[in-house]
Amino acid sequence: MTHPQARRAAVAHPSRRLAAAVAGWHRALLNAQAAGHPAGGNPYALLQAVMHDPDFAWLRRLSDLILRIDEANAKGATPSPEAMQGFLATTLTLTSGEDIEFQQRQQRFLLRPEVASARAAVQTTLDELRQAAQQ
């Protein structure tokens, strides 16, 4: 079992904080997208939809970002400053509306409290990490 202090330290690492925030945003958007979808009530069907249904393809931007961060953190490694800058830049592109398709798709769900809250958490984390990186 992991000591609580060690867990907090892992979550406090910038790349892990970013991954956790993005994962929460991804989960909220995925649940919103799945609501009313035929696969929404079946986790196995939903997994297939996420992987193959064009309606879910836009969410792969987030899952790909999470995967890249997790790979950079594999086996206790710490991402390089350049890698971290890339993660922050990708996140900024997704939160700022620069990715038009992503923004249009996300816009449909932003009135849902869980989506708005998760996106706000990503923005707060992004702002804090970008500010820390500039110091």
AA letter at 8: R
pLDDT digits (tens, 9 = 90+) for 53-74: 999 999 999 999 999 999 999 8
pLDDT tier at 1, thresholds 50, 70, 90: very low
DSSP calls for the chain: ---HHHHHHHHHSHHHHHHHHHHHHHHHHHHHHHTTSTTTT-HHHHHHHHHH-GGGGGGHHHHHHHHHHHHHTGGG----HHHHHHHHHHHHHHHHT-SHHHHHHHHTTTTSHHHHHHHHHHHHHHHHHHHHHH-
pLDDT digits (tens, 9 = 90+) for 25-47: 999 999 999 998 898 889 999 99
Give the number of domains in the chain: 1
Predicted local confidence at residue 12, as pLDDT: 63
Name the residue range of residue 63's domain.
Answer: 4-134
Predicted local confidence at residue 28, as pLDDT: 97
Task: Please determine, for residue 2, whether its predicted confidence score (pLDDT) is greater than 50.
Answer: no
70, 76 in Cβ contact below 8 A?
A: no
The number of residues making up the chain comes to 135
HSE value, Cβ hemisphere, 13 Å, CA-based, for 57: 5
Which of 132, 131, 130 has its CA nearest to residue 90?
A: 130
